[in-house]
Copies of this chain bind each other. A is one copy, B any other.
Amino acid sequence: MPSSRLTADDWTAAALDAIGRGGLAAVAVEPLATGLGATKGSFYWHFANRDALIEAALLRWERDHTDAVISLVETQPDPLAKLRLLISTVIESTAGPHTDAIELAMLATAGHPHVAPVLARVTERRVAYTSGLFEALGLPPQEARHRGVTAVSAYLGLAQLAHAAPRTVPATSTDRQAYVDRLIGLLTTAG
């Protein structure tokens, strides 16, 4: 039961919720207003238009969510353990049973003009971080960079596969673990 007056944050929270449930297309001002017990006119006091709401919601997601995985991974002592945890975490969250609905929605709408830059920043950080792990494993910078790109590609591509062709991706937790082990084997093989 929200108070009778709404804040911009109430609208972005509702928008993020909608994105998680039905993707960007589910961010519709009229249904959102109904859900919040307000009118469309109220929305336009807080935001210039639907686009501005989407942008605000995505920026909020980026701010709250970007460092989560990296902080988790940083608890590991050595680069190989970090790489192992990074890849298995990230693959579980896309191909596993409790997927990250918002991230999947973002990937599924990567072409959207507001999604693309957010995804670009998040992805560039991930490539940089992963490349750093390969450097810490002793690979020369260029080789480390290529493997970082390949590792992130493998993750993004598997997410795509899990969504578009689920039959092709490892189905059980054990299968996924075996897949991750082989992937790490390929990625850490001597140059």
Contact = CB atoms under 8 A, between A and B. Distances in A.
A158 B148 CA distance: 12
Given A23-B111, A146-B182, A189-B186, A161 B168 contact: no
A110 B160 contact: yes
Contacts of A143: 182
B124 A168 contact: yes
Interface stretch (A2-10, A34-42, A62-70, A101-109): A101-109
Interface residues of A, number: 45
Nearest to A131: B168
A119 interface: yes
Contact of A105 (B111, B116, B120, B157): B111
A146 B179 contact: yes
Majority SS of interface residues in chain A? Answer: helix
B161 A149 contact: yes
Contact of A165 (B111, B123, B154, B186): B123
Contacts of A170: 149
Interface in A2-29: 23
Nearest to A153: B157
A127 interface: yes
Interface string A145-179: 01101101111111011011111111000000011
A72 interface: no
B160 A120 contact: no
Contact of A154 (B23, B116, B120, B150): B150
A102 B181 CA distance: 35
Contacts of A127: 161, 165, 168
Interface of A: 23, 104-105, 107-112, 116, 119-121, 123-124, 127, 143, 146-147, 149-150, 152-158, 160-161, 163-170, 178-179, 182-183, 186-187, 189
